[in-house]
Structure 1
Amino acid sequence: MNRLKARVEKIEAADTLHIVTFLWEGVTIRMVSLNLDAGIVPGKEVMLGVNFSSVAIAKDLGGSVSYTNQVAARIAETEEGELVTVVRMQIGATELAALITTGAFRRMQLKVGDSVTAIIKANDLFLEEVLT
């Protein structure tokens, strides 16, 4: 499980649907939430979560992608398995891990030190804990 310490910047709401904008490691990321705790307000520090399998990796990304959260990263470590590979990326002071197929890992020729884009759908982020 990835844990991201972030600060709430903005909340947009329509009925029970919310889009929450956070500042994380100097970049803006967004989360879609159906039910949002009333204590979540701009300025609050929170811990967000995202599963390893919900993080995609792009190399030499060109063009548009509908996924809201696209963050520049550098590959710090890889753990290649027979079927799946864990790719650990560094984003500021935070490590973000992605679980991808080993076939994709080899096809993309990913290696430690590569600059990549970590991609996370806004509805794959979740609020784990309110810190302040």
Structure 2
Amino acid sequence: MKQQMLQDFEQAYNRVLRAAQDAFARGVVLPDGWGAWEVVAHLAAWEVEGSQRIPALLAGAGSKDYDTTEFNAGALAQAQGQTFEQVEASFRQAHQRLVSLLDALDARHFNEGGLAHEWVLVSTNHNNEHAQALEEAGA
């Protein structure tokens, strides 16, 4: 299960990155007003959060409820002033750190109910949802 989840996560990451690059080059704006810059900046922030949250869970921290509107607003504010290329580089770095962390985890953490299972599943779906939105908006 671990290898399949990581493979799916990597495919979703590559898909959203390609979609964002294309959308940025074409000036695509989503119905909610976000463009490729906003999508990539907020995905980078979520991957940084995963790199911090998963070790906290492994150390015994309890689950955390996120106010996604607040989290996303903070992510965009933190990235303010950066170019698309800079937020893309941040996304690439955050993704590599998260994948390295996940790759080092025991396979049992990827089983349903495992500490990495939900995070990877949600992140994979999240990347695919954004990729699809960017692809459809640019069609």
Q: Shorter-normalised TM-score: what interval?
A: under 0.3
The structure where helix makes up a greater share of residues is 2
Greater share of residues in strand: 1
Identify which of structures 1 and 2 has the higher relative contact order when contacts are C-alpha pairs closer than 8 Å and 6+ apart: 2
Please report the TM-score for the alignment, with normalisation by the length of structure 2. 0.21
Q: TM-score, normalised by structure 1?
A: 0.22
